[in-house]
Structure 1
Amino acid sequence: MKVESQTHKLLLVLAALGFGLVIFAVLPHGAGITPDSVGYISVARHILSGQGFVDWSGQPFVEQPPLFPALLAAISFVTRQDPASLGGVLNALLFACTIYFGGLLAAQLATPRIAVLIAGTILFSRPLFETSIETWTEPLFNALLIGVLTVALTKRNSGWLIAFSIGLTLTRYAGIALVGCVGLYFILERERPALVARYFILSLLPVALWMVRNQLLTGHAAGERAPSITPFSRQVVDAGMVVAKWGIVSLLGISAYAVKRTPARDLFGLVAAGNLLFMILAASRTGIDTLNDRLLSASFLPLAILAGIAIQQEGRLIFRRAAAGLLALSTCVMGAYAGANALKMRRHGNFYTDPARIAQSKLDVPLDPASKIFSNDPWGIYLINGRECSFSPRQHYYQSSKPDPDSLPNFKKRIEAGERATLVWYDPNPESFLWDADSVASGLRYRSHPGSQNSTLYEFNEPH
């Protein structure tokens, strides 16, 4: 379906507004940096220094696929800017692309007015906007997902479909599940088996090679994953609560299944449900964060377009107008929330961009260059103090009840054997799964002195 010139212009305006809103939020302090962000930044820096895919602790990077940090490194190489400063502009561009091309996709399936409304919903959505002001992979993942959905509906033989799908799987492991959903859609549409096989093989081969590399280097194809402490039933409830918070978008998206069946409805429904199911299974089997807007954002995007399809397919004018009005009202409410978040981010930064946190984490004393560094905040040590750092010994795995009985004994054996090490301990302890500082230092010879206003340095085997 040909999209009107006026619709293009309106979508470009919304995309520019999305870009500007992200830049407004991140301009003073930069894009938000969290522990995940430090991982991507450290890998990008190591790529630029010729060390390859290595993280903040000096270990092979395996927890996520390589595309996002590689992209940061490439942009850093061209612009001569540090990767830590690039997340804001990159994600603002990706967010703008998601708004524009998401609106174009909706315009292929609904009226221009509905398409513009859906683009506005994407612009002001909590899951998509909030991930765009952080140095995270979700903006790249969602932009690539729009590409996959668009091409899968129109040009299944196109090389662009393979390219976008490869990008999905090399950005987040959840992309593997979404490629599976697209392949299942082709099967349900009775597509030629040869095309389906070609799609699966070419889309999954690069990430398969990456996972083989991980297995050879670390013994884990996708990183070390300990069992979750949260059962499947609880994860289902958590996911349901997140989807319920999306309100009218979720309601209209699901209601698309009460109207006329279309290929687009099947594709978007499979992708939304597939991502949801993958994340529920991942969270119930491995120790990751509680399911939230961020982790489920790839389900919001197809649900938003499904909402447009539901409005378009509703035959009664009064109901169509009522649904569009409710969605517009919901978009306005989300817009107010996004604006408040942008102001908060602009004033205070976020996590490691917060000036107060940087002041607390910046050590007042130099770290011995010959000493191996351990900490209960290794990300802050790497990002703010510029040193590779490992976690201090842990009692059990993150978000898991699985104990790690070897962690503390192995640490003490290395110290007793004469290895020089420094433990940088921050109070209060941000990571409850770690041993406390007294347990780590107990029985070992060390000297301690204060670091910054909330840290203590324990030096083991340091020369006097």
Structure 2
Amino acid sequence: MINFALQAKYRNIFKKLFVGTLGAVGTIIVITFTGYQGAGLTPDSVVYISVARNLTVNQGFVNYDGVYFVLQPPLYPILLALIKFLTSIDPLISASYLNSFLFGLNVYISGIFLLKHLKSFALVCLGTLSVLFSFTLIKVSFMALSETLFISLLLIFLYNIETYQRKGRLLPFILISVSAALACLTRYTGVVLLLTGMICILLWGRNIFKERIGEFFSFTIVAALPIGGWIIRNHFLSNTLIGQRAVSSYTLFENINFFWNTLLPWYLPLKLSDVYLGFILLIITIWILFVSDREKISKILLLKQIGPSLLFTILYSGVIIISSTTTAYDKISDRLLAPIYIPIIFVLFITSDRILSWPIQSFNLRLIAVPFSIAMLLFIKEPLENTKHFIGEYEKQPGLGYSSSKWKKSEMINYLIKYEPFSKSYSMYSNKPEAVYILANLICKRSPAKTFYNSPQSIKLDQLQSSIRSEDENIFLVWFKESNYNFLFTLDELQKNIRMKEVVHLKDGDIYTFLKHDLN
């Protein structure tokens, strides 16, 4: 009996070490590819980095262009600023190290979560590997964005909510409250985690209902108070709660279509995704309908185990689809849906583990294990293929967004760097202000917009001219030829309203000047 207990203990240690090794591999993958080129940079990335830099010099939550930081919550730039304060490493560099650590942590937490709930270690390995080699998660981890941090906080919440439901202890309750609060301070969609926690406490709490009500209010106050304070601050500074927003360009039907076309290829070949999805739903339905009554208790336990992950997935998906229909921001894509990748893995693998135990009771283990193993290997084949393709493309063209070698070799950027003292004597506008700031280290504002970003809602040109007339210095327009910002006025449209003079012509763009008295 003692030997058996020791063997079980050593097996558990081995399993945790294996999962920890996969987490370390995840960290190595991200840092290997982003360590030299730096983390990928989008316009949002540049905002995060500029805010972090401004925090370290006591300028507060202000963007690179001097605008108050209100469109996103503050936790990610705060972490980058804290690293800068402790190590003197610039946020542009530390972002790749932070995200590599967080990605490895996400792989590890996913593994120990599956270890906690699955009987089959083979399924634990497959589930953890599907996280490690997920194209979606690797791509967002390569970027200086807040999604990887948000996913870490989500996983801490999901791991501890089940322990709280089962044992009702104080520490798990504190961890779910704090992780939900920090998730709200990472992305505004963190309120979904707040709602998930509130529902889970009421429905599946271990204590009597009266005590659950008290815990419900305690959780809500702790989780909502920080983001509530941030939103109040936004209102005082910008007269908006979460920044100025416009109407969306996409209909509800289009967003539902974007959602499914993004989600299903994560796990299934695109051409067969509907067939596979139907087959999976059929198996689950048969299991629910025809398993004997003695399995009812098991199914109740299963619901408690997958409930938080399933609830978060449903609520988050609904919030993204509805908000994308009412509010203009990025089109639904891998980045926006990345937080539900791992919860879906949890639901699928825990359910598969329970379903597998049903035929094993009636059939030979080998007859079931072989086809099931083949099916699960096919399940992770698609993520592996997508990741392999992404890594291959990354090796051919290192860097993502503004950190790519193409942008770093830009003739315009190198010209601005060379003539930096001259450039700083002007007020600068550009159709790519983020690139000018992050690559040439010059303060630059966005050139005039005719509509809000990704929205048909128009902006009056006289608002622009009023803004330009308030400048004290001469104005410098840096215009890149390649730009996907169709919400901005084109160069021809600007020249019809503002008299400009071309002073520099380069391969990838032009530079114009105009004085205040030259405005139409």
**TM-score over 0.5 for the alignment?**
yes
Q: Which residue of 2 aligns with 1:241?
A: 261
Q: Which residue of 2 aligns with 1:273?
A: 314
- Could you tell me the TM-score, scaled by structure 2's length? 0.83
Q: Secondary structure at the match of 1:129?
A: helix
Contact kept, 8 Å, 1:94 with 1:140, in 2: the verdict is: yes
How far off is 1:330 after superposition?
Answer: 2.8
Q: Which residue of 2 aligns with 1:362?
A: 413
> Distance between the aligned counterparts of 1:311 and 1:92, measured in 2?
30
Q: Which residue of 2 aligns with 1:436?
A: 490
Structure 1 residue corresponding to 2:59, chosen from 45, 51, 55: 51
How far off is 1:58 after superposition?
Answer: 1.1
User: Structure 1's 321 and 307: CA in aligned 2 closer, same or farther, altered over 3 A?
Assistant: farther
How far off is 1:351 after superposition?
Answer: 1.6
Q: Secondary structure at the match of 2:334?
A: coil
Corresponding position: 1:296 with 2:333: no
> Distance between the aligned counterparts of 2:478 and 2:179, measured in 1?
43
Q: Which residue of 1 aligns with 2:21?
A: 13
> Distance between the aligned counterparts of 1:414 and 1:126, measured in 2?
43
Q: Which residue of 2 aligns with 1:341?
A: 390
Moved more, 259-268 or 393-402: 259-268
Moved more, 253-262 or 366-375: 253-262
Structure 2 residue corresponding to 1:121, chosen from 112, 116, 130: 130
How far off is 1:448 after superposition?
Answer: 2.0
Q: Which residue of 1 aligns with 2:94?
A: 86
> Distance between the aligned counterparts of 2:424 and 2:150, measured in 1?
38
Contact kept, 8 Å, 2:427 with 2:471, in 1: the verdict is: no
> Distance between the aligned counterparts of 1:340 and 1:444, measured in 2?
46
Amino acid at match of 1:100: Y
> Distance between the aligned counterparts of 1:98 and 1:199, measured in 2?
24
Give CA deviations for 1:138-193 in whole Å, capped at 9, x if unaligned.
11111111100011110354311212111111111111112102211222225511
> Distance between the aligned counterparts of 1:321 and 1:310, measured in 2?
18
> Distance between the aligned counterparts of 1:212 and 1:68, measured in 2?
19
Q: Which residue of 1 aligns with 2:31?
A: 23
Give CA deviations for 1:109-161 in whole Å, capped at 9, x if unaligned.
11233222211111011221111111111111111111000111103543112
> Distance between the aligned counterparts of 1:417 and 1:272, measured in 2?
47
Amino acid at match of 1:305: F
Give CA deviations for 1:255-298 in whole Å, capped at 9, x if unaligned.
76755242012111101111111111121111111111211111
Corresponding position: 1:454 with 2:508: yes
> Distance between the aligned counterparts of 1:216 and 1:418, measured in 2?
25
Amino acid at match of 1:388: I
How far off is 1:253 after superposition?
Answer: 8.5
Q: Which residue of 2 aligns with 1:219?
A: 239
> Distance between the aligned counterparts of 1:235 and 1:173, measured in 2?
19
Amino acid at match of 1:186: I
Percent of aligned positions that are identical? 25
User: Any gaps of 5 or more consecutive residues in structure 2?
Assistant: 1-7, 289-298, 361-366
Q: Which residue of 2 aligns with 1:229?
A: 249
Q: Secondary structure at the match of 1:307?
A: helix
Aligned length: 461
User: Structure 1's 346 and 87: CA in aligned 2 closer, same or farther, altered over 3 A?
Assistant: farther
Contact kept, 8 Å, 2:75 with 2:186, in 1: the verdict is: yes
How far off is 1:319 after superposition?
Answer: 5.1
Q: Which residue of 2 aligns with 1:173?
A: 188
User: Structure 1's 417 and 137: CA in aligned 2 closer, same or farther, altered over 3 A?
Assistant: closer
Corresponding position: 1:423 with 2:477: yes
Q: Which residue of 1 aligns with 2:359?
A: 316
Contact kept, 8 Å, 1:41 with 1:69, in 2: the verdict is: yes
Contact kept, 8 Å, 2:266 with 2:382, in 1: the verdict is: no
How far off is 1:414 after superposition?
Answer: 4.8
> Distance between the aligned counterparts of 2:230 and 2:457, measured in 1?
27
Q: Which residue of 2 aligns with 1:392?
A: 447
Q: Secondary structure at the match of 1:442?
A: helix
Contact kept, 8 Å, 1:363 with 1:385, in 2: the verdict is: yes
Corresponding position: 1:110 with 2:131: no
Amino acid at match of 2:118: A
How far off is 1:91 after superposition?
Answer: 0.9
- Could you tell me the TM-score, scaled by structure 1's length? 0.93
Amino acid at match of 2:250: T
Moved more, 390-399 or 22-31: 22-31
Moved more, 110-119 or 10-19: 110-119
Contact kept, 8 Å, 2:267 with 2:383, in 1: the verdict is: no
Contact kept, 8 Å, 1:72 with 1:86, in 2: the verdict is: yes
Contact kept, 8 Å, 1:64 with 1:172, in 2: the verdict is: yes
> Distance between the aligned counterparts of 1:415 and 1:174, measured in 2?
35
Corresponding position: 1:150 with 2:144: no
Structure 1 residue corresponding to 2:431, chosen from 357, 362, 376: 376
Amino acid at match of 1:144: L
Moved more, 272-281 or 346-355: 346-355
Contact kept, 8 Å, 1:24 with 1:346, in 2: the verdict is: no
User: Structure 1's 443 and 6: CA in aligned 2 closer, same or farther, altered over 3 A?
Assistant: closer
> Distance between the aligned counterparts of 1:320 and 1:128, measured in 2?
29
Corresponding position: 1:411 with 2:461: no
How far off is 1:215 after superposition?
Answer: 1.1
Structure 1 residue corresponding to 2:403, chosen from 353, 357, 361: 353
Q: Secondary structure at the match of 2:248?
A: coil
> Distance between the aligned counterparts of 1:97 and 1:25, measured in 2?
17
> Distance between the aligned counterparts of 1:119 and 1:35, measured in 2?
32
Q: Secondary structure at the match of 1:136?
A: coil
Give matches, 1:184-203, under 5 Å. Answer: 184-189=199-204, 192-203=212-223
Give CA deviations for 1:200-240 in whole Å, capped at 9, x if unaligned.
11101101110111111011111111110101121112112
How far off is 1:332 after superposition?
Answer: 3.9
Q: Which residue of 1 aligns with 2:327?
A: 286
Contact kept, 8 Å, 1:363 with 1:451, in 2: the verdict is: no
How far off is 1:20 after superposition?
Answer: 1.6
Moved more, 326-335 or 62-71: 326-335
Contact kept, 8 Å, 1:415 with 1:461, in 2: the verdict is: no
Q: Which residue of 1 aligns with 2:292?
A: none
Q: Secondary structure at the match of 2:336?
A: coil
How far off is 1:344 after superposition?
Answer: 2.7
